[in-house]
């Protein structure tokens, strides 16, 4: 792999080989997930459904490496072994945020941003143990803010507290290519 996952930055822009082709496959995964999100076609395996009072705040869809063999081959050929592809569709809470958290299983991934209208991804330092899945404001301190942009690839450390603000007016959609997990 020609990039460093153990970098000091929790997220960092990267370049892949055959990026244009990889992008086409990922865009198709995102289109399918968006169709499912809006029309509930149930064609893609739903991993997480976080809906409150009918507001679809967050949905993620799980795609296995063997479900998209050509994409997986393009990644394996450059030393990237995907554990899975997780497509996330994020509407956010009514304040246009998705609150700071640590992901359940994912550790390092490559993130591809498909749709985003200049949301800000924030990383935090934990100053107190969290009381629930999401951190309260007094439990964290902001350390990094990034504007991850459409069509680009980034490393992402899911085990550092992170959240998104400024989502919308449309949903944000991205794929994380999971490279390592914590269990």
> Would you count residue 36 as binding Fe ion (CB under 5 A)?
no
For Fe ion, the closer of residues 36 and 103 by Cβ is 103
Q: What minimum distance in Å lies between the beta carbon of 157 and Fe ion? A: 10
Q: What minimum distance in Å lies between the beta carbon of 146 and Fe ion? A: 14
For Fe ion, the closer of residues 103 and 116 by Cβ is 103
Site residues for Fe ion, 92-111, by CB under 5 A, read 103
Evaluate whether 14 touches 155 at the Cβ level (below 8 Å): yes
Distance CA 10, CA 71 (A): 25
Return the exposure string of 79-118: e unless at least 16 CB atoms fall within 10 Å of the residue's CB, then b. ebebbbbbbbbbbbeeeebbbbbbbeebbbbbbbbbbbee
Looking at the DSSP bridge assignments, the partners of residue 56 are 51
Q: What minimum distance in Å lies between the beta carbon of 16 and Fe ion? A: 21
Closest residue to Fe ion using C-beta atoms: 103
Binding site for Fe ion (CB under 5 A): 103
């Amino acid at each position: 792999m020609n990039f460093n996952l153990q970098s000091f930055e929790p997220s960092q822009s990267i370049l892949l080989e055959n990026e244009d082709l990889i992008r086409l496959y990922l865009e198709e995964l995102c289109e399918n997930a968006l169709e499912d999100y809006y029309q509930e076609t149930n064609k893609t395996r739903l991993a997480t459904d976080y809906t409150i009072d009918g507001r679809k705040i967050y949905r993620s869809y799980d795609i296995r490496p063997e479900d998209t063999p050509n994409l997986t081959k393009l990644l394996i050929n450059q030393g990237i072994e995907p554990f899975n592809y997780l497509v996330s569709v994020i509407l956010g809470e009514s304040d246009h945020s998705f609150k700071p958290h640590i992901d359940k299983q994912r550790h390092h991934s490559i993130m591809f941003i498909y749709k985003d209208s200049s949301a800000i991804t924030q990383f935090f330092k934990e100053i107190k143990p969290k009381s629930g899945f999401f951190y309260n404001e007094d439990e964290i301190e902001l350390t990094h803010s990034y504007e991850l942009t459409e069509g680009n690839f980034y490393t992402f450390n899911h085990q550092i507290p992170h959240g998104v603000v400024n989502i919308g007016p449309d949903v944000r959609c991205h794929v994380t290519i999971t490279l390592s997990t914590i269990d």
